[in-house]
Amino acid sequence: MKSIDDLISGYRRFRAGDYAQQANLYRELGQGQDPNIMLIACADSRAEPSDIFNAAPGQLFVVRNVANLVPPYQPDGGLHGVSAALEYAVNVLKVGHIVVMGHGGCGGIAASLDGAGNPAIGEFVTPWVRLLEKARERVVESGSVNPQFALELEGIETSIGNLMTFPFVAQAVEAGELSLHGAWFAIVHGELHWRNAKTGRFEVISAT
């Protein structure tokens, strides 16, 4: 899509196609939502969660931001979009799963590697990717031959760790009411890698 006209044309195709075929579903969703999975993904236009998981409207509660990051719990009265969505998902929707999904070629990860302290990256991007500072240091110190990929995975681990700093998340996990997951999507290959909760390793999900 190159223009607003393209966007409007897409809407018209949606109304004539998917919406017309699922009109009853949309009418039901108009009364409320009841997803069981929250998915925290990157804002990157190439990694669309609904497409990757073939999800219908109403099945995923999705939050997207630069580098699919979750900040630590910080009740300081500031404006916290991710934290607000997380609170709603866990306390109101009562989701049973939270998935943090990274992806290949992430620009936010590249910004962190280029120097999270570099203000030239952006007034808002710079402090945001500083959430990856410790993970970035671990990757650099490890001498990884592919630091971009390594930090994409470390970023997922950072976000999962930060999720557990929220008291309501930790309480739900400890009560067995909530599970945390990590995933990474390889855009160029269309492969999904899933984090093994026992080993911490990311394993390719079979396409069949």
63 and 144 part of one domain: yes
d(CA 24, CA 119): 49
**Catalytic residue check, 114:** no
Q: What is the CATH number of the domain that holds 181?
A: 3.40.1050.10
**Catalytic residue check, 44:** yes
The reported pTM is 0.93
Rg (CA), the chain: 18
153 and 200 part of one domain: yes
**Residue 100 near residue 181 (C-beta atoms within 8 A):** yes
**Catalytic residue check, 46:** yes
Q: Single out the catalytic residue among 6, 15, 34, 46.
A: 46
Q: Taking the chain (208 residues) in consecutive chunks of 10 residues, what is each chunk's mean pLDDT?
A: 93 92 93 97 96 96 98 93 98 98 96 72 87 95 95 98 98 98 96 95 93
143 and 173 part of one domain: yes
Angstrom CA distances, 128 to 57, 67, 96, stand at 29, 9, 27
24 and 42 part of one domain: no
d(CA 10, CA 13): 5
pLDDT for res 77: 87
Contacts of 204 (CB under 8 A, 6+ apart): 191, 192, 193, 194
pLDDT for res 118: 59
10 and 106 part of one domain: no
5 and 49 part of one domain: no
Residue numbers belonging to the annotated binding site for Zn(2+) = 42, 44, 103, 106
pLDDT for res 1: 87
**What is the extent of the structural domain holding 188?**
33-204
139 and 42 part of one domain: yes
Secondary element (H or E) of residue 102: strand 97-103
In the DSSP assignment, the letter for residue 130 is: G
Cα 26 to chain centroid distance, Å, stands at: 24
27 and 54 part of one domain: no
Pairing of strands 179-186, 97-103: parallel
60 and 147 part of one domain: yes
11 and 110 part of one domain: no
1 and 96 part of one domain: no
Number of structural domains (the chain) is 2
pLDDT for res 116: 52
